[in-house]
Chains A and B, each alone.
Chain A
């Protein structure tokens, strides 16, 4: 188990890691997700003892990485961003060197090297010099080095960079296989990869931890309302008039397109499906509806939402609060700010239908909000 407490890393005036706090439980696959320069590699380097932290501490199975480095490092296998390979050694020599460095007893050394070679499928190149290997093979040798001795925690910094699709799939399978016996932490900026492999995602942005949950929960959290997208020839004011009385609509954002076509995003409350009512409303009023489709919030949206805005932590914590509360009480709770804004404008609506919360979106704040989703 790894505990990271209040971790800070400063490079001069630049804050690379900003008060990180998280726990890594045993036997799961964790994904570090974040845009370039978010501090993923720095965090991993500190966790493995390569760099010292400005503040805070890292405990590996209860051993502080700085105070008891040798004890703590025994539990970790690390593949850095650039595999640390000695180009003038053969694969076999290199792995035997790494095994000795990791204090694997002499008798077991041969066997464990052979075992990892088979595991990452580099047995057939074991007598070649590393400098003559392709990028993909080098990456695998680096991975073999990390897995060597089967430490409890395996930390992989962007393990699939530079690999071809077939190799990527192989490495993913390998990671899944490893997770049966080990805790695996991997970093990536490729969402699909993290989504597919990891049990738990930690999203880091500008050195801060902005989200930590399972992929499914993250999607749910952000997608507490699914969105229906429509294209119509009605004007925004007509749309508003038409949809006014449909319960289950939370927010409407209109955007005028070309040729008199208006595109509108209708945010539904969770669990509601308003497509039928929307269709009926348009049909009954003889308005032309060109498109009507459901848009799901994907992990990509979550990622963008969390990492692209300056106000990320607030937005996230608010949503997280809402989410956890709604999970507990099993009621729909809408974002408070919107409620307070809409109260003075449309008191009747609220009074009539207290559960329905729908907001005129021509206002600036909502426009911005919608644009980002």
Chain B
């Protein structure tokens, strides 16, 4: 694992991608820092960071796009997969290298609150926690990007799809506000999600009985609940899907100074799920 980690990290800085990412993030944050903290005298660095969030949406796909797609295209994955190293370690090695690249600018960010403090009042606790959560959010985005990169041979497709998904996640709140809130639409939404899940199960297992049973039982349960207590379905969709607005955990800290521990757990679970899915995606390709 260490060998892969070292090689990856080195290659990020040899191929300039890592440098470009860090420079990009530093320049943007620097501009916001100048504008908000130094020029306007606002004492919270966390607010500056929330402006830099948009850089992640472009920057993270940039560093994750090549992680697996390039290996696959150049067939160098043959070296990794025939070496006496387990696949999980290969994926972890690569993921940790990406995380390290994301960590570097975040470590540098730790200086900024001190600069503010040297000029007057600073809210160090909030600022440092926001930097940590900002870093974790980057790690979640990186896990998603790495997963998408493992699905394709083309770096361009990996970049575009990761960028698209991160952008949708960024705009998620706005999209959710367009969803209807009535109980009936909640039911319809649940049924649609259920059908998609059943279809996916059918595709994966090829077992029509199992998928059909899940669909029918789920639909029946949903409809009965709706008849008994329709109020449960009110705002269900936006509540359910609202969990996916990952950046909210971070913006809560930056705008309201509220730290949501469950949100941090959510981040860690997202990372675990996508790293696991990456391993599975590569395994699947070996078998098909």
Q: Which residues of A contact B (CB under 8 A)?
A: 11, 45, 48-52, 69-71, 73-74, 76, 78, 80, 82, 84-89, 97-98, 100-103, 145
Contacts and interface: CB of A to CB of B under 8 A. Distances in A.
A208 to B, nearest CB: 22
9 contacts: A49-B82, A52-B286, A80-B75, A84-B75, A85-B74, A86-B74, A88-B15, A89-B11, A100-B6
Contacts of A49: 81-82
A97 B3 contact: yes
Counting from the closest, the 10 A-B pairs by CB-CB distance are A100-B3, A84-B79, A73-B84, A52-B287, A84-B76, A101-B83, A48-B82, A74-B84, A80-B78, A84-B78
B251 to A, nearest CB: 38
Contacts of A87: 74
Contact of A50 (B85, B86, B286, B288): B286
A51 B286 contact: yes
Given A69-B86, A98-B83, A101-B84, 9 more contacts: A84-B74, A85-B74, A89-B7, A89-B11, A98-B79, A101-B4, A101-B83, A103-B85, A145-B79
Contacts of A80: 75, 78, 82
A82 B72 CA distance: 12
Interface string B91-114: 000000000000000000000000
B14 interface: yes
A174 B15 CA distance: 35
B258 interface: no
Contacts of B3: 97, 100-101
B215 interface: no
Interface SS, B side: helix
B7 A73 contact: no
Best-surrounded residue of B4, B86, B286 (most CB of chain A within 10 A): B286
Nearest to A101: B83
Nearest to B79: A84
B196 interface: no
Contact of A86 (B6, B7, B86): B7
A29 B273 CA distance: 45
Tier of interface size on chain B? 20 to 34
Interface of B: 2-4, 6-7, 11, 14-15, 74-86, 286-288
B7 A97 contact: yes
Contacts of A86: 7, 11, 74, 76
A211 B58 CA distance: 56
Nearest to A78: B82
Contacts of B4: 101
Contact of B86 (A51, A52, A70, A89): A70
A51 B75 CA distance: 13
Contacts of B11: 86, 88-89
B76 A78 contact: no
Nearest to B86: A70
Nearest to B288: A11
A82 B6 CA distance: 24
Nearest to A86: B76
A363 to B, nearest CB: 49
A49 B282 CA distance: 13
Given A52-B286, A88-B11, A100-B3, A73 B76 contact: no
B82 A50 contact: yes
A76 B7 contact: no
A102 B78 contact: no
A78 B286 contact: no
Contacts of A82: 74-75
Nearest to A54: B287
Contacts of B76: 84-86
Nearest to A65: B82
A23 to B, nearest CB: 21
A15 to B, nearest CB: 14
Nearest to A82: B75
A11 to B, nearest CB: 8
A103 B77 contact: no
B90 to A, nearest CB: 9
Best-surrounded residue of B6, B7, B11, B74 (most CB of chain A within 10 A): B7
B75 to A, nearest CB: 5
A87 B71 CA distance: 11
A11 B86 CA distance: 24
Contact of B85 (A48, A52, A101): A101
Contacts of B74: 82, 84-87
